[in-house]
Structure 1
Amino acid sequence: MESDARTNGGLKFPILDSIPDLNNIKSFTERYFSKRYVLNVNGIKNNDVMILFHSNRIALLSLAPSHFFFKKDEEYKINFCVGKLNRLANSVKGKGKKGGQHLIPNSVIGKVEYKDGTSFDILCCMSGTLVEINEELVKSPCLLKSYPDSNGFIAIVLSSIKIADNTKNKMLTHEEYTEIIKDCCES
């Protein structure tokens, strides 16, 4: 009998063959969310947003990898006070997420503010209810740059199935986005 196999009634079960390839394991968001993209939000070049949709209507808002934010290497912080509204004070209750702030596509979720005084708004790009702001970004803003499609998400938004489906259908799929970005880089 081989050292890396066990037998059961004459059948061999190679133990090493049963171990998955750890280099190809997908992250939680890659397994359960579909990525959609909006390019040049408000007509601003490379102001690109990524929204990760789950089948349960939950959507994670983040910046797309092509966003100009990722090219600027300067100290920054994230401010969730928008005018008189503090997005961090959002409070939802119950299954229907009552009390959550209502959002439309042009709603500002927050701002990225650089040390040099410049800033840009982060827009929601969809209609729905604000469920949660990623408060970790206040303490560790580097998460936005390091893990934009997981721990660095900006907000969680909930919408109706109809609105979520309509929104997804109007946005670029991951494949379409990848092709457009590839074409832009080659030009």
Structure 2
Amino acid sequence: MEFSILDDIPDLSTYQSFTERYFTKRYVLNVNGIENNDIMIMFHSNRITLLSLAPSHFFFKTEGDYKINFTVGNINRLSNTVKGKGKKGGQALHPKSIVCNVEFNNGTKFDVLSCMKGTLIEINEELVKNPELLKKNPDSDGFIAIILSSIAVSEANKNEMLSHEDYVKIVT
């Protein structure tokens, strides 16, 4: 009887990604009253949140080259630095704070808002070098920013936003 080692490899297509396993997806639809300007915020149990664009965002239906600009007004989000266990020194965000803007080569652009109160911990600098990550993997490698908020604020934000199940019912 002969066995192949390849027969022991599990089917990897059934495994969930890191963000699917450890983050709870929530959504804010029509941010600033703009149709399909939808934001996805992924909450981890440790209060860390990942900011990204929701799959229903008009960005994913727009063709053309684009770049992501993290300089908003006189604030450069890329210069954000935090120190220590408490992540002191991060830029303060409120729900209407612009984290970045996406600019297409034809001159059109849109702002990405944080949609929650918290502290900016980190910008995904890979998006500067590889902006296509935002389109290819918005819920993993293409996240825009990491935000940290207090337990109370995190829970309040999560409860105000659409759950993944409600989001799917609305957009399908």
- Regarding TM over 0.5, the answer is yes
Structure 2: which 5+ runs fail to align? none
Report the Cα distance in structure 2 between the residues aligned to 1:161 and 1:146, rounded to whole angstroms.
31
Report the Cα distance in structure 1 between the residues aligned to 2:29 and 2:58, rounded to whole angstroms.
11
* Equivalent residue runs for 1:91-130 within 5 Å: 91-130=81-120
- The aligned residue for residue 156 of structure 1 is 146
Report the Cα distance in structure 2 between the residues aligned to 1:151 and 1:19, rounded to whole angstroms.
25
* Equivalent residue runs for 1:136-155 within 5 Å: 136-155=126-145
Report the Cα distance in structure 2 between the residues aligned to 1:179 and 1:21, rounded to whole angstroms.
29
**Given the alignment, which residue of 158, 161, 165 partners 1:175?**
165
- 1:26 to 2:26 alignment: no
Q: How far does residue 36 in structure 1 lie from its aligned partner after superposition?
A: 0.3
Q: How far does residue 21 in structure 1 lie from its aligned partner after superposition?
A: 3.1
- The aligned residue for residue 64 of structure 1 is 54
- The aligned residue for residue 66 of structure 2 is 76
Give CA deviations for 1:8-64 in whole Å, capped at 9, x if unaligned: xxxxxxxx6x75432210000000000000000010000000000000000000000
Report the Cα distance in structure 1 between the residues aligned to 2:141 and 2:67, rounded to whole angstroms.
16
SS in 2 for 1:176: helix
- 1:131 to 2:121 alignment: yes
Letter in 1 for 2:86: G
Give CA deviations for 1:146-173 in whole Å, capped at 9, x if unaligned: 0000000000000011100100000011
Report the Cα distance in structure 1 between the residues aligned to 2:150 and 2:167, rounded to whole angstroms.
25
Report the Cα distance in structure 2 between the residues aligned to 1:130 and 1:20, rounded to whole angstroms.
39
Report the Cα distance in structure 1 between the residues aligned to 2:9 and 2:128, rounded to whole angstroms.
39
RMSD over aligned CA atoms reads 1.4
Report the Cα distance in structure 2 between the residues aligned to 1:22 and 1:144, rounded to whole angstroms.
23
Structure 2-normalised TM-score?
A: 0.95
- 1:47 to 2:47 alignment: no
Structure 1-normalised TM-score?
A: 0.88
Query: What is the aligned residue count?
Result: 170
- Structure 1 runs, 4 residues or longer, greater than 4 Å off: none
Report the Cα distance in structure 2 between the residues aligned to 1:100 and 1:180, rounded to whole angstroms.
35
